[in-house]
Structure 1
Amino acid sequence: MQQGLLAPQKRLGTAGLIALITVLNMTAPLSTDMYLPSFPTMMDEFGVTAGVLNLTLVGFFFFFAVGMLVFGPFSDRYGRKPVLVAGLGLYLAASLACAGAGSIWQLILFRVLQALGAGCMVSVSTALVKDCFDGRMRGTILATIQSMSVVAPMLAPIIGAFIVQYATWRTTFLMLAGISLCSLTAALLLQEPLPPGARLRGPILGSLGRLFVVARNPSFTSLLLVVALIPAGFMAYISVSSYIYQDFFGLSETAYSLFFATNAGVSVLGPLTYIAINRKVPPRLIITGALGLALCGGLAVLLLGRTAPLAFLLSFIPYSFGSSLIRPVSTNTLLSQQDSDTGSASALINFGNTAMGSLGMVLAALPWPDFVTGLGTIAAGCALLALLGWAVLLLSSIPLRGIKEGLSSGD
C-alpha cells in the first residue's frame, strides 16, 4: 500500500487516511437520504406542504454544488487541512442547528449552511486523493472509496426508518453531527499534504479565478463534458425508481426496497471490477466499455423495461454497472490532466457530476408517456452522446494524459 503513496501520514496512517476520505464522500448521500423517511412526520410538525419541505432538499443540492466550487480553490490557496477543518466545523454546527430548528424556514437556512460544509468536505477529499496517491494506486483508492461510498445511499433510508420508529427526525441530524465530529477529529490528525511552496498566491478572488484556468484546459474540460453525461441517466433513475416500481408496476414499499437494493449492490461491483482490471486493461478501453454498457442498458430499458419489474431491473443493470465503472477511471484521468490547481479541478469534477445529475432528475420529471420510457430515453440519449463525444475526443488533436500516450496536457 505504501507504493504510490506521495504524502505519508504518520498519525492517521494510510488506512486512516482512506477511511477519512471515504466518510467525507459519504456525507452527501447520508445528508439527503437518511431523513427522507421522516418527511410525513416533519410535514405534520411544521404544518407545511411537501413542496415547502422539499426546499430542504433543493436548497441542499444547490448550495452543495456551490460549496464544492468555492472551497476547492480555497484549499489550493490555504492548504487542504485548514479548509477541511473549517468545512467540517461548519457542517457540525449546522447539523446541530438543524436538530434544534424551531421552524421550517430555520431548517432550510441551516440546511443551506450544512450543504456548504458538505461541498467543502467532498471537494477537498477528492483533492486529497490526488495529493496523497500516485498513478494506478490513485485509481485503486478512488475505486475503493466509491465502492464503499455506494453503501451510504443503501443504508441511509434504512437507518432513517429505524430512527423514525424509536426517536424523532431531529435524532437524524444529531447522528450526522456525530459522524462529522469523528471526521473532524481525524482531520485534526491529518498532516498537510500541500506544502506552502505549492499553494496559490495572490488575492482571494484570484483563487476562485483558478476555476476558469482549469476550465480552459481542453484536455480536462473535454473529457469532463463527456463523462459527466452518465450521472444524468443514473440520477434520473434514482428520482423516478419509486414511481416506476410502486405506481407503474404496483409493487409494495418492501418489494421496491429489495429491487432498489439489488441495483445498488450492482453499483458496488463497478469500482471493484476497476480495482481488479486497472493494472491490466488500459483506461481507454475501460471508458469505452463502460460507455458501451451504459448505452446497452438505456436501449434495453426502452425495449424491455415496461414488461415486468424484473425485466426493468435487469435492463437497467448494465447502465448502473457502466456508470459505477467509469467514475473512478474518469476521475483519475481527469486529475492527471492538471499538474496544479488540484482543488479547483476536484471542485469542477464534482460540480460537473452533480450538475448533470440534477439535470437528469429534472428531465425525468417531464411529462413522458410513462416514467420507464422517459428514463430509457434519457439513459440511452446520454450514453449515446457520451460515446460520440468520446470518439470525437479520441480522434481529435486534444492531448489526454494516460489515454493518448506521447501527448501531454497543459498545467
Structure 2
Amino acid sequence: MSLNNNSAAADIASSRPAGRDLQRLAILSTLMAFAAISTDLYLPAIPSMSAALRAQPGTLELTISAYLIGFSAGQLFWGPIGDRFGRRLPVALGLVIFVIGSMGCALSGDAWQLIGWRVVQALGACASVVLARAMVRDLYGRDRGARMLSTLMTVMAIAPLVGPSVGAQILAIGTWQAIFWTLAVIGVLTLAALFTLPETLAPEHRNTEPLGKAFAAYGALLGNRRLLGYAGAVGFFFSGTFAYIASSPFAFITFHGVTPQLYAILFAVGIVGLMVANQINARLVGRFGSDRLLAIGATGAAVTGVLVALQVLTGLGGVWGFAIDTWLFVAMNGFIVANAISGALADFPTRAGAVSALLGAFQYGCGVVGSGLASVFADGTPWPMGWVMALSGIGCLACALLVRADRSRVAG
C-alpha cells in the first residue's frame, strides 16, 4: 500500500460519522481485550477450581502459563492468514474457537483437561488481538494509528481493573464453571458485533502469495533491523511488566504486609497510570512523532526499572517508594507499545497481519520469560523482580535507540 493509499484511508476514516467511530472503537477494544478478560475474569476462582478439581498445589497456575504460550504461538499462525484472506473471516473463526475452548473449560473434569482447553481458548483469542491491531493499520496512517492504538489500549485497560471483581461476583452467585460460560457468551456476542464492521483489507491490498511462502517470510522479517528494534522494545518491556505482575502479590502482601484489599487498590492505581499515559501519548504523537515518543517511553522504562531495583535493594521509601517506582514503570506502556506497533506496521503495510503477529509473539513470549525468571530466582524478597525490571527497561531503551539509529541511517 502506498503512502497515498495510507493518507486516503486516514481521510476516509476521519470523515465517517462520530457514532460509527464510537461503534468501531467499542468493537476493536473488545477484540483487543480478549487477552485480559480470558484470564482476569477467572483469577478469583482459582482456589475453588483447585479444590473442586482436586488439583495438586500449583497445578491450576499452569492454566495461565499454558494460555500465554498458546496466545504467543497462535499469533504467528493468524497473522499471514489475515494478510491473505482479509481480517474479518479469520477473526470470526478465532472467536468460534474461543467459544469452543471456553465451553471445554467449563466442562472440564480435571485440571489437565482445563489446561488443555485453555490452550484452545488462547489459540482462538489471539486472532482477535493480532488482527484488530492490523485493522487499525488498515484504517489509519502511522501517527494517527498510534493515536488510535493509545485510545484502544486506554479502553481495554478497563478489563484488568474490573475483570477480577466481575469474576468474584459471578462466583458469589454461581460456580466457577459459570465464569467460563460467561466467556463463551462474550465470544458469541462479539462474533455478532464483528459482522457490523466492514472488511478493512481490500482484496487488491491482500498478500496473494501461497501461505507456505507467507509463513516462511517470518525469517525475512526477523532480518530487518528496525522491525527487530520495535519488537525488542515491546518484548523487553513486557518481560519487566510480567515480572511485576507475577511477583507483585508477594511483594506487596507478603513482604510489605499490605492487605489483599489494599493490594488490589495499589495494582489498580498502576493501571490508571497506564491509561493516563496512553491518553497523553494520543495527544502528543501528532506533534512529536511515534518514534520520538517511543524513545522517551523507553528511557522512562530504563530509569524507573533501575529505580525499582535500587528501591528493593535499599528499602528506601518503604512500601510507598516501591509502589511509586513500579507505577511509573508500568505507565511507560502508554508511550512504548502503541508507538512500537504503529511504527512496525507502517513499515510493512502489505504484511500488517504477519508483523502484528510477530510483535505479539515477542510481547507475550518475553512476558513468559520475565515472569519465569522472577519465579525461578525467587529468594523471599522482591529483589529478583527488581533486577528483571531493571534489565528489561535497559533492553527496551537499547532497542528503541536501534530504531532511531536505523531510521537516521536510512534517511542519511
Describe the SS at the equivalent of 1:62: helix
Of 356, 362, 367 in structure 2, the residue corresponding to residue 357 of structure 1 is 367
Of 173, 177, 187 in structure 2, the residue corresponding to residue 170 of structure 1 is 177
1:280 lines up with 2:280 in the alignment: no
Of 325, 330, 341 in structure 1, the residue corresponding to residue 340 of structure 2 is 330
Give the total of aligned pairs: 400
Q: Which residue of 2 aligns with 1:4?
A: 10
Describe the SS at the equivalent of 2:350: coil
Can you list the C-alpha shifts for 1:20-79, whole angstroms capped at 9, x where unaligned? 111011111111121111111111111111332223222211111122110111111111
1:78 lines up with 2:78 in the alignment: no
Post-superposition offset of 1:231: 1.2
C-alpha separation in 2, matches of 1:202 and 1:263: 44
Structure with the bigger percentage of helix: 2
2:25–2:152 contact (8 Å) kept in structure 1: yes
1:214–1:341 contact (8 Å) kept in structure 2: no
C-alpha separation in 2, matches of 1:39 and 1:390: 38
Of 32, 53, 76 in structure 2, the residue corresponding to residue 46 of structure 1 is 53
Q: 1:16-55 residue pairs with structure 2 within 5 A?
A: 16-55=23-62
Moved more, 36-45 or 362-371: 362-371
C-alpha separation in 2, matches of 1:193 and 1:405: 33
Q: Under a length normalisation based on structure 2, what TM-score does the superposition of the two structures give?
A: 0.91
Of 192, 195, 198 in structure 1, the residue corresponding to residue 199 of structure 2 is 192
1:73–1:210 contact (8 Å) kept in structure 2: no
2:68–2:122 contact (8 Å) kept in structure 1: yes
2:368 alignment partner AA: S
1:198 and 1:392, CA in 2 relative to 1: closer, same or farther beyond 3 A? closer
1:99 and 1:139, CA in 2 relative to 1: closer, same or farther beyond 3 A? same
C-alpha separation in 1, matches of 2:81 and 2:402: 34
Q: Which residue of 2 aligns with 1:381?
A: 391
1:361 alignment partner AA: S
C-alpha separation in 2, matches of 1:119 and 1:295: 29
Return 5+ residue gaps in structure 2 as ranges: 1-7
Q: Which residue of 1 aligns with 2:357?
A: 347
Of 118, 129, 132 in structure 2, the residue corresponding to residue 111 of structure 1 is 118
1:132 and 1:171, CA in 2 relative to 1: closer, same or farther beyond 3 A? same
2:9–2:139 contact (8 Å) kept in structure 1: no
2:10 alignment partner AA: G
Moved more, 245-254 or 48-57: 48-57
C-alpha separation in 2, matches of 1:36 and 1:127: 29
1:9–1:190 contact (8 Å) kept in structure 2: no
1:355 and 1:5, CA in 2 relative to 1: closer, same or farther beyond 3 A? farther
1:233–1:360 contact (8 Å) kept in structure 2: yes
1:317 alignment partner AA: W
2:199 alignment partner AA: E
C-alpha separation in 2, matches of 1:83 and 1:59: 22
Post-superposition offset of 1:4: 1.9
C-alpha separation in 2, matches of 1:313 and 1:211: 39
Q: Which residue of 1 aligns with 2:242?
A: 235
Moved more, 293-302 or 365-374: 365-374
Describe the SS at the equivalent of 1:53: coil
1:6–1:133 contact (8 Å) kept in structure 2: no
Q: Which residue of 1 aligns with 2:71?
A: 64
Post-superposition offset of 1:288: 2.3
Return 5+ residue gaps in structure 1 as ranges: none
C-alpha separation in 2, matches of 1:282 and 1:136: 6
1:229–1:382 contact (8 Å) kept in structure 2: yes
Q: Under a length normalisation based on structure 1, what TM-score does the superposition of the two structures give?
A: 0.91
1:214 alignment partner AA: L
2:271–2:331 contact (8 Å) kept in structure 1: no
Of 166, 170, 181 in structure 1, the residue corresponding to residue 188 of structure 2 is 181
Q: Which residue of 2 aligns with 1:407?
A: 411
1:9–1:191 contact (8 Å) kept in structure 2: no
Of 140, 153, 157 in structure 2, the residue corresponding to residue 146 of structure 1 is 153
Moved more, 229-238 or 211-220: 211-220
Post-superposition offset of 1:303: 2.5
Moved more, 162-171 or 122-131: 162-171
C-alpha separation in 2, matches of 1:17 and 1:390: 31
Q: Which residue of 2 aligns with 1:122?
A: 129
Post-superposition offset of 1:352: 0.9
Q: Which residue of 1 aligns with 2:5?
A: none
